Structure 1
Amino acid sequence: MARTRNSKSSSFVSLMNPSFFTHLLSLPPFHSLHYSPRKNSRITQTTSFLSFCFVSLFIALFFFGILLITFTTLFQNSLSCPHTSYYSSSSPLFVASVLAAASSGSDFAQDDEPFTLSTSAMVPLPAHGIVGNLTEEEKEFWKQPDNQGYIPCLDFSLKYRKASAKISNEKRKFLVVVASGGLNQQRNQIVDAVVIARILEAALVLPVLQVNHIWGDESEFSDIFDVEHFKKILKADVRIVASLPSTHFVSKQTINRELPFHVSPLWLRARFLKQLNQEGLLILKGLDSKLSKNLPPDLQKLKCKVAFHALRFAAPIRELGYQIARRMWIEGPYVAIHLRLEKDVWIRTGCLTGLGRQYDSIISRERESHPEYLTGKLNMTHAQRRLAGMCPLNASEMARFLKGLGAPNNARIYVAGGEPFGGTQAMQPLQKEFPNLVTKHTLARNGELTPYLEKSSTLAAIDYIVSLSSDVFINSHGGNMGRALEGHRAYVGHRKYIKPNKRMMLPFLEDSFVPEEEFKRIMKKLHSKSQGQPEPRAKKIDRDVIAYPVPECMCRQ
């Protein structure tokens, strides 16, 4: 782009050279402006006047052409490099803006602001940096990874933008999607629903959130997400409507439940386009993780736009989430851990709780009565599952892991997730090693959480906001929230994200005879590349762009 601007500049300079105008004025009819015979004075005056008008018109057209070239160049450059610009996390303006947002419980995007990607994303409170009297080990633990110059970059192609005018005004074909599971599972399905609506060129009805059979949460889309913001951000991509028009209600609606995995845009069009064109309505259920992870670049960018910009939490959730995050942030750097010690996780993973025979028996009985909950291979023993990395780290293992990474004993730790199976007993080993252990329940004041105690999705959203703003995030057992935060933290500045390498570290965790310093050296070596540096999605097949936004959704400055 710099080369293009230079070439345009040199062309402009050559046109402005005095010799160009001298040569021009020496030619008829311009010559009559500075030379005319006396014998034809009246004719000469007329000719001079016409010449003057011609020259004036020429000069006006000339400068109009220069302005047109300049603005065309600037416009083309803005289309070819439309990087999303964020303030630097160390910028005083950024810090002041974020603190003001956290104090008011909002984020940057205001309803009266024009839509820009840089003001619509849900952003964390700024990282603290390394301050105070810390040891080298502690400095290394709190140090943020190098983002290698990557910034958000959602540059949709010209073909995509040309098609948007028609798709965003679709009023005949409608897609209805029923999203199931917990909050972050639902978020993934909502992202895919927008992409599928775009593929099928249909209007999207606000997704229906199925009542969660484990937590009994009956929240609707508008209870969790900011509906108007969702529509506003996506209005150029897909038409979003609050409900299905009465003209499209039929006595018997067909619900498509059986979708294969890794569904491609071509498959979706071949399977549903004819039905959608004929009936004007398509209802999809059971969409969870069925859409292909390897989509065309424009659709990958759309996924990022939905996940990181459009799906903003509703105002009450946002306000409370930022208030709790600020209570953690104001006292210095902190770690957020998603422990995954809830009862349903133990049932689904088929792992032992580490709390003794009494608790393990309860989980075994539940699992036997609901065998469909168990994930993974059914013929694996408890020990095989654990060594394969299929079990969450319990509180004792997490405590040793944190110490191995060099976390100071006075580190402030926020524990995200639901109530751990076993209550306070399950958390004792971690609490003993790291006394500054808190949850949303201990940080909330004056009954702030009371209205949401039966709303698991709202509680999960608060955990998401506080975890997003943490200086270090550790996920003990994969899952949708962990993957979402992995990508979101990369997208907003590559905040430190540590993913335990359970397969490699478990033998050392079980060996109590390994010297402490040797254990630390091993843990740091195993996780030296798992610290949040930009990792391209294409490094491994079938990675989700929401977890790995490089290179489709991020580019170097």
Structure 2
Amino acid sequence: MSGTSLICNAVTITRLLNATLVIPKFLYSNVWLDKRDLPVDLQSLDLEAIGSLVNDTDVMKEAKPSVYVKKILPILMKNRVVHFIGFGNRLSFDPIPSEIQRLRCRCNFHALRFVRKIQETGALLMERLHGYRPHSSSLEDNLLGQFAVKSVPNGNMSDASRYLAVHLRFEIDMVAYSLCYFGGGKEEEDELEAYRQIHFPVLTEIKKTTKLPSAAFLRSEGKCPLAPEEAVLMLAAIGFKRSTKIYIAGAEIYGGSHRMAAISRLYPALVTKETLLSPSELEPFRNFSSQLAALDFIACAAADAFAMTDSGSQFSSLVQGYRMYYGGGDLPTIRPNKRRLASILVKNATIEWKEFETRVRKLIQQTKQVHERPVARSIYRHPRCPECMCRTEF
């Protein structure tokens, strides 16, 4: 999902400069394994030599449209090609002409569609979650295209099951980078430090020369990922019953089945894309992390309720914005304030359950309120603004 803002910004700047957009080359890494490339005839150009390579030192973060007209348009006019590197956050949200903002918004919520194989498998996933083939709605049409059928078999939805989707951000890379402690003793500390040395060498070097905040301080400030056993306490306090069907989105949980034991015991109707789809149905996506994330996105965006454990997650932010844009207020998103939740969880050994329940519910109720998009905030996460929610044509 990380390419979404990049593409929307690229489309917007292309319109601003009256240029032709060539689909960008996405980052190839150990996380996002999908390869994309420029057309062959452009690959042979030495863009750096001709001065057409533009990176984040040439265009600052959150640059205004005027910067592109002043700095980039002359390069484009001279060389007829510009290659942006590190472009994801290079266009501001405010101040910006409303027609440019609206284009970026419509690109994100209308123009961008999943490819056929993702739509088809996503529809299969929805059928097994809900108990019926997805029916036609603006949200399902956008997510599933032709695979969102126009009517429900027999016209009967009484047997449809409701489900809660939860994005558990507790992968080893996030856990290691957080510098937090999760109760696993020296074995956990050694394992995470070894992972940092390989995957986050800069962080390892910083630790040698700089006094960093303690794990306890990071937790009190809400900087630590919410562990599955903490997430289950939050869900139970909100009022989700044992019979609730829960779809877990995300990559492999650090700690595996041991970490998932508490939530699995309390919510036995726990499912994932791996349990709902057969190995052969998942095989086309097996080596592509972003495509697996797309299946999770469909399940989360269309859920009856969605809960995130990290409000800073780009995936969760995109799901939240999508549900806000298409939901009409009927698709609730649970977004805890981790700093305030941490102050409650730290007392879980002494606090009475009723008090814990009351405090968590009050916290969640406050974060469920939907407001107009704050100034300079992302329209992908906060689409409730005149340039976005109107859905008008150009």
Structure-1-length-normalised TM-score: 0.59
Q: CA deviation at 1:292?
A: 1.1
Question: Is the aligned partner of 1:440 residue 2:276?
Answer: no
Specify which of 193, 208, 223 is matched with residue 390 of structure 1.
Answer: 223
CA contact (8 A) 2:34 2:290 kept: no
Structure 2 counterparts to residues 323-362 of structure 1, below 5 A: 323-330=124-131, 331-362=160-191
Counterpart amino acid of residue 215 in structure 1: V
Structure 2 counterparts to residues 397-436 of structure 1, below 5 A: 397-436=230-269
Structure 2 counterparts to residues 486-497 of structure 1, below 5 A: 486-493=320-327, 494=329, 495-497=331-333
Question: Is the aligned partner of 1:554 residue 2:389?
Answer: yes
Match of 1:449 in 2: 282
Counterpart CA distance in 2 for 1:390 and 1:407 is: 25
Going from structure 1 to structure 2, the CA distance change for 1:447 and 1:386 (only over 3 Å counts) comes to same
Match of 1:273 in 2: 73
Question: Greater CA radius of gyration, 1 or 2?
Answer: 1
Tell me whether 430-439 or 412-421 shows the greater mean CA deviation: 430-439
Structure 2 counterparts to residues 366-377 of structure 1, below 5 A: 366-369=195-198, 370-372=200-202
Q: CA deviation at 1:273?
A: 1.0
Counterpart CA distance in 1 for 2:285 and 2:11 is: 28
Match of 2:108 in 1: 307
Counterpart amino acid of residue 305 in structure 1: R
Counterpart CA distance in 1 for 2:106 and 2:203 is: 32
Residues 481-520 of structure 1 show CA distances to partners (whole Å, capped at 9, x for unaligned) of 1111111001111310010111112121121222212211
Question: Is the aligned partner of 1:321 residue 2:321?
Answer: no
Structure 2 counterparts to residues 198-217 of structure 1, below 5 A: 198-212=15-29, 214-215=30-31, 217=33
**2:108 aligned counterpart, secondary structure:** helix
Counterpart CA distance in 2 for 1:191 and 1:441 is: 30
Going from structure 1 to structure 2, the CA distance change for 1:293 and 1:357 (only over 3 Å counts) comes to farther
Match of 2:334 in 1: 498
Q: CA deviation at 1:245?
A: 6.2
Going from structure 1 to structure 2, the CA distance change for 1:496 and 1:373 (only over 3 Å counts) comes to farther
Residues 133-170 of structure 1 show CA distances to partners (whole Å, capped at 9, x for unaligned) of xxxxxxxxxxxxxxxxxxxxxxxxxxxxxxxxxxxxxx
Counterpart CA distance in 2 for 1:284 and 1:480 is: 21
Match of 1:159 in 2: none
Counterpart CA distance in 1 for 2:186 and 2:11 is: 46
Give aligned pairs, total. Answer: 348
Unaligned runs of 5+ in 2: 132-159
Going from structure 1 to structure 2, the CA distance change for 1:378 and 1:433 (only over 3 Å counts) comes to farther
CA contact (8 A) 2:243 2:268 kept: yes
Q: What is the RMSD of the two structures over their aligned residues, measured on CA atoms?
A: 2.4
Q: CA deviation at 1:257?
A: 1.8
Specify which of 362, 365, 369 is matched with residue 194 of structure 2.
Answer: 365
Q: CA deviation at 1:373?
A: 6.2
Counterpart CA distance in 1 for 2:109 and 2:41 is: 29
Structure-2-length-normalised TM-score: 0.82
Match of 2:34 in 1: 218
CA contact (8 A) 2:220 2:339 kept: yes
Match of 1:515 in 2: 352
**1:527 aligned counterpart, secondary structure:** helix
Unaligned runs of 5+ in 1: 1-183, 222-241
**1:528 aligned counterpart, secondary structure:** helix
Going from structure 1 to structure 2, the CA distance change for 1:334 and 1:469 (only over 3 Å counts) comes to same
**1:204 aligned counterpart, secondary structure:** coil
**1:414 aligned counterpart, secondary structure:** strand
Q: CA deviation at 1:315?
A: 0.4
Q: CA deviation at 1:416?
A: 0.4
Counterpart CA distance in 2 for 1:323 and 1:356 is: 42
Going from structure 1 to structure 2, the CA distance change for 1:318 and 1:473 (only over 3 Å counts) comes to same
